[in-house]
Amino acid sequence: MREALCSVQTMLEFQLQHSTQSISHPGVKGDVNENHWIDVLRAYLPNRYEVETGFVIDSLGGRSEQMDVVIYDKHFTPTLLAQQNHRYIPAEAVYAIFECKPHVDKSYLEYAGQKAASVRKLLRTSVPITHAGGTYPAKPHFHIVSGILAPKASWTDGLGATFTKNLPSLPEEQIDCGCALEDGAFDNFDGLLKVVPTEGALIYFLFRLLSRLQSLGTVPAIDWAAYAKVINL
């Protein structure tokens, strides 16, 4: 079982390396690598979660920067204006966001943190839910998970002390988890940063992410009336 799961990581490493070697255009290469990561996430997350690239929006007309990977609610919340790779996803529906990069370094960590902040600053509505026995109160909003995905880390100590020192310090830019296939995986889901070595890193990352998503439960009920007001501006 362990060998079968680890082979998934080997295959992803091969796919990323192949696209790096065979595609010269940076934009196309980035899109292909994003799709490899998206395919893996789709394969291991339950169908209640959708995984796409796109923009996150709110009921005030705010919009995030384009996100490489958005994990969002599929059951209760539709995407808006979905045209090829331009999807607009209500902020209330978002569970997690990721940046896919050629490696993990200081500049990419900062960039991923800034893009995470562009999502977390958006307004998220929440309304009560009526049911047969009465009404459930509006659900409070959870912390949107953010992370970084890459084939490797750029430092000689991998995901060691140098990596830890360069993680964004601002709460709105916090990087919660990630995977650098050649150097391991990390998360702070238990309140402290934990880093695991290369072997089995991808599956560890996926299972830890799945556990975190489960702990968040369902997304809050979106206030569609608030979105309707944008149309009448």
pLDDT in tens, the chain (233 residues): 666 666 776 777 657 665 665 555 455 445 667 888 999 999 889 999 999 999 999 999 999 999 999 999 988 777 776 666 678 999 999 999 999 999 999 999 999 999 999 999 999 999 998 877 788 899 999 999 999 999 999 999 999 999 999 999 999 999 999 999 999 999 999 999 999 999 889 999 999 999 999 999 999 999 999 988 877 65
Q: Which of 34, 50, 68, 176 is catalytic?
A: 68
What SS3 class is residue 132?
Answer: coil
Count of domains in the chain? 1
Q: Which of 50, 58, 92, 101 is catalytic?
A: 101
Give start and end residues of each alpha helix (H) in 73-134. 106-120
Active site residue 68: yes
- The residue with tokens 């900062």 is 110
Look at residues 186, 189, 181 and name the one whose alpha carbon lies nearest to residue 167.
Answer: 186
- Bridge partners of residue 72, in order along the sequence: 50, 94
Amino acid sitting at position 59:
S
pTM of the model: 0.90
* pLDDT at 25 (0 to 100): 47
* pLDDT at 214 (0 to 100): 96
Residue 104 belongs to what domain range? 2-231
Active site residue 152: no
Q: Which of 99, 105, 176, 187 is catalytic?
A: 99
